[in-house]
Amino acid sequence: MTRWLLFIAAYFVSIPSHAQGSVGHFYPDFYGTTPEQAARPAQGFTGENVAKDICYSISADNRREFQNILERNSLRIRNMYTAVKCNGYTLLQFAVIAEATDTGLLLTRSLPARMIFEKYENGDSILDWAETTGYHNSPIIHAVRERLPQS
């Protein structure tokens, strides 16, 4: 688990000005959170903290904590799947890389097949990505293959 805690970094579009030049900070993306939502003190969270917790729970393969984070923040997996990226990877890719089988299988079961198989920015699907990066034998990728629509 600690090897992934050191490895976790965030993929983000722009670094906040107060963080430029700093080293060792974790800045996950949480697209879709409006400034009004993030600034509400009554809820006590920011999108950055939620995304950080999500990435941490995946890297630790803590399925129960992952579900608790979603429940506490009234999130649905399908709504935040495209919004949060961990180390530049989608949540499913990050689960494969982190060998987070329990959490990855939860994502595979919970996401609609069309979301799992949609192409990434580079034109690859999750299966193409797994083949090119050597993760094609992952139990998560096997579960993804089982979700393939039968033709």
Say which range, 74-78, 112-116, 132-136, 145-149, has the weakest mean pLDDT: 145-149
pLDDT value of residue 91 = 93
For each of the domains in the chain, give its residue range(s) and CATH number, in order of start. 2-146 (1.25.40)
Q: What is the chain's length? A: 151
What confidence score (pLDDT) does residue 30 get? 52
User: What was the pLDDT predicted at 93?
Assistant: 93
Instruction: DSSP for 32-94, please give it.
Output: T--HHHHH-TTTT--HHHHHHHHHHHHHTT-HHHHHHHHHHTT--HHHHTTT--BTTB-HHHH
Residue 50 has pLDDT above 60, yes or no: yes
Q: How far apart are CA 108 and CA 147, in angstroms?
A: 8
Quick one: pLDDT at residue 27? Answer: 44
Burial environment of residue 57 by CB neighbours within 10 A (0 to 12, 13 to 18, 19 or more): buried
* Through-space distance between the first and last CA atoms of the chain, rounded to whole angstroms: 40
Q: Say what the pLDDT of residue 1 is.
A: 41
Find tokens 């089982």 and name the residue: 146
Distance CA 8, CA 10 (A): 7
pLDDT at residue 17, rounded to an integer: 37
> Does 108 have pLDDT greater than 90?
yes
Task: Identify the pLDDT of residue 151.
Answer: 53
d(CA 96, CA 137): 10
pLDDT of 34 reads: 56
Q: Which of 17-21, 57-61, 121-125, 126-130 bottoms out in mean pLDDT, i.e. has the lowest?
A: 17-21
Instruction: Answer yes or no: pTM beyond 0.75.
Output: no
SS3 label, residue 89: strand
